[in-house]
Every structure is written in structure tokens, then in C-alpha cells.
Structure 1
Amino acid sequence: MMTETQEATATLCRLQLGSELRRLRQKRGLTSTQVVKKLLWSPSKLTRLETGDNITVEPSDIMALCQIYATDEKTSEQLKEYAAVTKTKREWWQSTEFRPVIGPGPKAFLGLESSAAALHNYNSEYVPGLLQTPEYVRVLHRHSNADRSDEDIERMVELRMMRQNVLRRVPPLKYAAVINEAVIRRHVGGPAVMRAQLAHIIEAASAPNIKVQVIPFTAGVYRAMNGPFTTLRFRDDSTLKPIVYLEHLADHWVMRREADVELYEDAFNELQTLAPGPQESLDLIRKAMEEL
């Protein structure tokens, strides 16, 4: 019979492992510099382990850290089990089918998204990925990846659709999206594509785990106008703390500092308060459909 750890995703195990290693190091009162000097490692190696950035983790590295941190047998075995899962499991987006069309940034986010228990997302320019239709995705990628072949574009579309399975898994991702009214007014792909896209948002929002709100133009100025963001929370029984994911045209990054995460979570709460409720927001979407 498989243990709970063995049934977990490789990404979740990497993140859990990194969180635990960081906690154990700090509990022993050791700095990263002290640890890497003892093991003759590069500083970046320990950083990657503690942030869960390595695709696979060597159990021998975990054993070496457990010796330095003087962990008990139960903790050591749990950490080695996390490492073993990263060696034996692969996420679906790591397949040869998707590898040519997915960069490091999206790959990192997919791991976080698939492991999260709750995700809050603010978008100002386009429909969030978890709510997009294939036709809408296809138009976006043909514009932003004009140098790609039709085959690659279709792979990107399939990748986006596969992502949406987190909304239907057991238990499903708890998803809340706040979007600017510009998102539902901007014609992406023409009236037919937009009508289908808006209808899809309305249908998706009928699920109990999905909440969509629209910030109307009449709301005026609000704090999050400087750009889109995503906050992620993990299972209550996890040692993982909430994080923020930011992605722009040339770069992407994850924010873990507690004060930064709190800033973005507060901003999202303000957005939800400022926006009309879910039903009123869906009425705004229906009105936009009628006007197409």
C-alpha cells in the first residue's frame, strides 16, 4: 500500500522537503554558509534544495543534511521519502509532448499551481488561464508566439487545457479570480470567440470551488492597478507557507517573504470587497456578451 507521501506529486514533495530542510537548519541555528562549508557544496545547491527548485533530489544529499541537523530517525526517513518521490515521479507537463513549448517560468508555476489548495488571481488584460477556452488560448498564442509552428501552438493550447484539471481534481483547487472589466470588453479573436469565452466563464463560475468577480470601470482607482498577480496557499497539514507568483513579459518570480505575501493577499481582499459580488459580476459578463 502506498504512503501519503508516495501518492503526492513530485512538486509537492520537493516543496515540502525544501520547507522542512530550511526549518531544520534554522532550528539548529545554522546559516546557509556554515552548512555548505561543512559539505563543500556551492551556496546555490542548498538554496535550490530549500526553495524546491531542483527537479530531482538525491537521497544521499538529504542524508548528509540530516547528519548535520541531527534529525531523529522518523524525520530522516520522511525527508528521504520526499527525495525518493522526486526521483521516481514525473509531472505530466514534463512529457516529451510538452517539453518543446514550455519554458522554465511556466514550468515552475505549473508545479506550484498543481500543488496548491487555493489560488487567488488578479488579471487586468486577459482572461485567467484556468478560465480560458481553446479558441481564446489559440488567438493569444498565435499573437505572442508568431514564430511558432501550428503544431507547437496546438501543443500550447492542449497544455493550457490540461492545466484546468486542477479545478476538477479531488479535492478541487479553490479558485477565486478578480478581473478588470477591460478583460471582458477586449475583443480577442472576434465576437464569436469572445461570446464563447464569456459564456464559458459564466458556466465555470457555477462550480462551488470557483468564484469570479469583475472590477467595473466605474470603480475608479484601486491598489492593484500596477499589474496582475497570483497568490497560492497549500494544504493546512502542509508546512508550506503562502507565496506570490508574478509574471511579466520578460521575467517571472516567486515571492516568499511574509510581508510581501501579506501585501498581495491584502490587495486581493480589497479587490474582492471593491468588486460587485459574484452574481452581479456575472451580470456584467452577460451584458458584455449581449453587446458583442
Structure 2
Amino acid sequence: MPDQKQAPGSVALGEIGHRLERLRTLSGLTLAATAAHCREQGLRTDASALSRIENGHRRTIDRDLVTALLRLYRADDRTSAEITRFLQPDTGTARRKRPPLLRRHADFLDEMKFGDYLDCEAQAVRLRNYELAVVPGLLQTADYARHVITALRPDLPPGKIDALCDVRLHRRRTLAEGPPREFQALIDESALRRPIGSPAVMREQFEYLFAASETPGIDIRVLPADAGGHQGLAGPFVIMTFPQATHARDIVWTETLSTSVRLDQDTDVTRYTDAFTRLWNRALDPARTRTHLTHQIQELTA
């Protein structure tokens, strides 16, 4: 199981930390030596604080500190300009204000590390989601979502089940009505064959998928059962891509029963991206996917 990491207060700050860590490593400096140098320049910091910056765990970063670090690491003009650009007001140096619904359930969502996921999802311009067992959350109907959440979290009281359902539907509306972005949903056929709730619930879910598949910016594909064994059997995941001015790298999220896990190391992102591409290329094309959904709707209507 990968290490669990809390996401940064903004994606921009995570990118700043990643780049500063790389520069420090190339300079051959330890965190302790870097902190000592900063203190000599009159900047209050220590190795622990610098580590939190590099790991994206700080909500704000002092501009003077970034400038001092770039000077210490002897970053060239181009690199310095790229990093300081992330500190501009339009990229945000603190957590963006969440919608009222998410603020209302913030304690519960942050406890699950799901609040950090939602912050990143809201900033992404491209989402690539592979699901093995259920329909992707961004495409779930209300009844289907309630049955899925109740089955996954039988330990939760009804009020928290309601909260998660409300959040899921809010995310779906944001995808449909918010700023344009690309969503690639790859659904294993086993997820569509698994009955969740009543036949009426499943029929409504399939009808929604069919309608969503014709929506600009949303590309839904089914990975057929005859694809056999593949990397997706390891479990579902989401790859997020951000505006270049906010974050230069993709990040990957996976989920456990109780929390969300963020992967941002280049090797992890590359592995998941390659896996998604291979699975995507083996999936039914959009027209055949809609035909597949039509057949399942007909089976439930008969």
C-alpha cells in the first residue's frame, strides 16, 4: 500500500515544493544546511518547515523565502521565473474557498482525506478515471450513489451517508455545468453487470450514462469482459491534469475503504498513465459503448 499523503492547500503550492526539492537535491544541500543558510539571511525557518513545503503540506509560502532558496540553489533565470509564477495571486497561495455544501461537511470530508481530493478535482482541467467495480462517482445517479455508498460504508450513520450522497451529486452537477474540462471515464464491464439496488435503479443509471456519453467533453468507454486479465484489476484510480500555470505535473488518486491516497511521484504517475492508455485502447469505442448501454437498458426494460 502506498504512503498516504495529504494534498497541498493548493495544487500550485505542491508544484512549488516539488521543484524546490529537486533544486535542493541537485545542489547537494541537506534540509538542515538549507535552513541554517536561511536563518543567516534573517528568515525564520527550520528543516521541518522546509520539509513541509517540499511535500506540499503548507497552506502558504513566503515569497522572500522562495527567493532566498532560488538564490541558494543557483537556479537560472528561466527556472526562477517558472517557480515564482506559481506564487501569483491568480494561482492561489492558499486553499481556495470551497462551495457552501463542502464547507458544511468539511470536518467529515477532511477526516477521510476526501476534502483534499475534492480541492484537486475542482482545479483539474482533465480527469481520467478507471473504475473496476462501480460506475464512476461523477456519473452516478442519486439512487445508485446512495446504494453504493451505503454498501461501502455500513459503519456510517444515515446523516453522513446523506452528506456523501449530496457531495457526489454536487460533483456531478459541477462536471456538467461548471467550466469546460475533459473527462474520460473508463468502466470495466463487470461494474455494469453488478446489480446495485433494484432493476429500476440500474436502468436509470444506464440511461444517464447513455445521455452523458453524448455530452461534449465527456468520453465514456466500456472495457469488455473479453479483455481478460489487465492492470486495471489492481483497482480504480483517477489521473488529474491541471492548468500549466498551476501545476506542471499530473497526480494520481486511489481510494481505500476509509481514505483517499495521493500519488505524485513521477514513477507512479507514469505507471498509472501508461496503464490507463493501454486499457483505454482496449475499450469499446464511443459508438460501441452506447450500443452496449442500449442493450443493457433493453434487458432491464423487457
* TM-score, normalised by the number of residues in structure 1: 0.81
Q: Secondary structure at the match of 1:188?
A: coil
Note the 1:1-292 alignment, pairs <5 A.
11-22=10-21, 25=24, 30-39=29-38, 41=45, 43-54=47-58, 56-57=59-60, 59=62, 62-70=63-71, 78=85, 81=88, 85-87=92-94, 89-92=96-99, 95-102=102-109, 103-164=111-172, 165-170=174-179, 172-292=180-300
Q: Secondary structure at the match of 2:296?
A: helix
Deviations 1:23-76 (Å, cap 9, x if unpaired)?
Answer: 65457554444324445755453333234333x2153xx423422322889789
Q: Which amino acid in 1 is paired with 2:250?
A: P
> Measured at CA, do residues 273 and 195 of structure 1 come closer, stay the same or move farther in structure 2, by a change above 3 Å?
same
**Higher RCO (CA < 8 A, seq sep 6+):** 2
Identical-pair percentage? 26
Q: Secondary structure at the match of 2:261?
A: strand
Cα distance, 1:88 vs. partner?
Answer: 7.8
Contact 2:19 2:83 in 1 (8 A): no
Q: Which amino acid in 2 is paired with 1:90?
A: K
Q: Secondary structure at the match of 1:175?
A: strand
RMSD: 3.1
> Measured at CA, do residues 80 and 112 of structure 1 come closer, stay the same or move farther in structure 2, by a change above 3 Å?
closer
Distance across 1 between alignment mates of 2:22 and 2:65: 16
> Unpaired segments of 5 or more residues in structure 2?
1-8, 40-44
Distance across 2 between alignment mates of 1:203 and 1:156: 24
Cα distance, 1:87 vs. partner?
Answer: 4.6
Deviations 1:197-221 (Å, cap 9, x if unpaired)?
Answer: 1111111111121111111112222
Q: Which amino acid in 2 is paired with 1:150?
A: P
Cα distance, 1:191 vs. partner?
Answer: 0.8
Contact 1:18 1:50 in 2 (8 A): yes
Cα distance, 1:269 vs. partner?
Answer: 1.1
Distance across 2 between alignment mates of 1:51 and 1:212: 34
* TM-score, normalised by the number of residues in structure 2: 0.79
> Measured at CA, do residues 51 and 200 of structure 1 come closer, stay the same or move farther in structure 2, by a change above 3 Å?
farther
Distance across 2 between alignment mates of 1:44 and 1:122: 36
Distance across 1 between alignment mates of 2:249 and 2:91: 23
Q: Secondary structure at the match of 1:187?
A: coil
Contact 1:17 1:82 in 2 (8 A): no
> Measured at CA, do residues 139 and 50 of structure 1 come closer, stay the same or move farther in structure 2, by a change above 3 Å?
same
Deviations 1:129-184 (Å, cap 9, x if unpaired)?
Answer: 111111111112223333434333222111112223144322x2211111111111
Distance across 2 between alignment mates of 1:246 and 1:90: 24
Distance across 2 between alignment mates of 1:57 and 1:36: 17
> Unpaired segments of 5 or more residues in structure 1?
1-9
Corresponding residue pairs, total = 280
Deviations 1:231-265 (Å, cap 9, x if unpaired)?
Answer: 12222444421222222225542222223222211
Distance across 2 between alignment mates of 1:120 and 1:243: 11
Q: Secondary structure at the match of 2:267?
A: helix
Distance across 2 between alignment mates of 1:212 and 1:95: 27
